[in-house]
């Protein structure tokens, strides 16, 4: 699928992802054939971007660790719980404990060796939260977390941006340079507000609370809100994973490429170096659907990942063998290399 501006719609495109309102209500389902008349309606609802199917999508096998529909179900469950939350009325948030358990259960059953796909991300807070949670679980698995420890870390992830429910500030694709001091203050205090709303909740583990408070801290003490140098692995995991996923989704910053996101977390003064190396091995540099140019001069589209995050399986877009499209696994010693993204 590819992210489209609503203004680009010409009609007859097919939705690859549901269109939701801010309150979580779905107004257009996956598979809907769009009409030109939808352009005005979507614009009036302040919906500027959508996802549509692409010509080679039927060949693509993206690795999200979860099945696409399972991922969307988790995202919608989280949206339903958090979008109806009111400050310090935390009974409804207890449902997140069950959601955390479900996430861990599905993840434990997944023995995926291919690199993870990160592609066509939006600034949707709930999509960001589930995606970032997966990254933390990837690290947790590498660090040998027990099931209980993983569930506590996942719970911290699911609640880490709760504070955004209590502030009125635009955190989507924003730049501090274009924000007023008041807006920056409001944005940064979401960490404290999320923590203070939950600090007395006995059902929430202490490590989960620390993750909420410290997810924007840095190893060198340059983060916020307290300039702490957290030693807990869970805190360091959420810091590096949140920074990476915020960068590729355009949350709390201007949206960046995967390369740029990796450049940010490669700063060993601010982020755990060992964790950064793991993420580089586990996340595909060329996500499924990326149009690339190969050193043989041919154009291709990435259709699947391999165990090598820099050598995916591609499909040549302008070549056929009879009625069949030609594919090639670049994770071979003699295989050609990708020279750039188109």
Give the phi and the psi of residue 75 in degrees, each rounded to 5: -60, -45
Q: What is the pLDDT of residue 267?
A: 98
Angle, CA of 15, 19 and 25, to the nearest 5°: 145
Tens digit of pLDDT at every position of the chain (342 positions)? 677 778 778 888 888 888 888 777 888 998 898 888 888 888 888 888 888 887 788 899 999 889 889 999 999 999 999 988 887 778 899 999 999 999 999 999 988 899 999 977 888 999 999 999 999 999 999 999 999 999 999 999 999 999 999 999 999 999 999 999 999 999 999 999 999 999 999 999 999 999 999 999 999 999 999 999 999 999 999 999 999 999 999 999 999 999 999 999 999 999 999 999 999 999 999 999 899 999 999 999 999 999 999 999 999 998 888 888 999 999 999 999 999 998
Percentage of the chain surpassing pLDDT 70?
A: 100
Report pLDDT for 54. Answer: 77
Which segments within 183-298 are labelled E, that is strand?
A: 291-294
Residue 2 buriedness (CB in 10 A; 0-12 / 13-18 / 19+): middle
pLDDT of residue 7: 78
- b/e per residue, 271-310, with b = 16+ CB within 10 A? bbeebbebbeebbbbbbbbbbbebeeebebbbbbbbebbe
What is the value of pTM for the model shown?
Answer: 0.85
Q: Which percentage of the chain shows pLDDT scores above 90?
A: 71
CA atoms of 238 and 215, how far apart (whole Å): 6
Q: Which of 209, 187, 214 shows the shortest CA–CA distance to 197?
A: 209
Q: Which of 236, 223, 47, 280 is nearest to 143 (CA)?
A: 236
d(CA 276, CA 243): 11
pLDDT, position 63 = 92
Rounded-to-integer distance, Cα 338 and Cα 314, Å: 10
């Amino acid at each position: 699928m590819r992210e489209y501006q609503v203004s680009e719609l010409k009609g007859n495109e097919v939705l690859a992802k549901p269109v939701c309102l801010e309150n979580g209500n779905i107004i257009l389902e996956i598979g809907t054939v769009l009409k030109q008349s939808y352009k005005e309606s979507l614009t009036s609802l302040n919906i500027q971007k959508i996802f549509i199917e692409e010509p080679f999508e039927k060949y693509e096998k993206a690795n999200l660790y979860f099945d696409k529909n399972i991922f969307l179900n988790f995202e919608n469950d989280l949206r339903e719980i958090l979008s109806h939350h009111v400050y310090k009325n935390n009974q409804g948030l207890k449902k997140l404990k069950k959601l955390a358990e479900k996430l861990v259960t599905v993840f434990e059953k997944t023995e995926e060796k291919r690199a993870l796909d990160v592609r066509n991300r939006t600034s949707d807070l709930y999509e960001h939260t589930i995606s970032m949670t997966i990254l933390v679980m990837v690290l947790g698995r590498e660090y040998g977390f027990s099931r209980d420890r993983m569930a506590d870390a996942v719970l911290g992830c699911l609640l880490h941006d709760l504070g955004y429910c209590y502030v009125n500030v635009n955190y989507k694709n924003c730049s501090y340079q274009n924000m007023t001091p008041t807006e920056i203050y409001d944005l940064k205090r979401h960490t404290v507000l999320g923590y203070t709303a939950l600090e007395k909740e006995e059902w929430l583990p202490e490590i989960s609370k620390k993750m909420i408070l410290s997810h924007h801290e840095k190893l060198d003490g340059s983060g916020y809100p307290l300039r702490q140098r957290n030693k807990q692995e869970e805190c360091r995991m959420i810091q590096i994973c949140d920074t990476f996923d915020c960068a590729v989704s355009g949350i709390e910053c201007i949206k960046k490429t995967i390369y740029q996101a990796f450049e940010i977390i490669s700063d060993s003064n601010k982020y755990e170096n060992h964790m950064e190396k793991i993420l580089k091995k586990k996340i595909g540099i060329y996500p499924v659907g990326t149009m690339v140019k190969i050193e043989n001069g041919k154009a291709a589209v990435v259709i699947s990942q391999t165990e090598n995050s820099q050598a995916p399986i591609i499909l040549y877009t302008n070549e056929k063998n009879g009625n069949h499209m030609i594919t090639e696994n670049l994770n071979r010693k003699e295989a050609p290399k990708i020279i750039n993204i188109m």
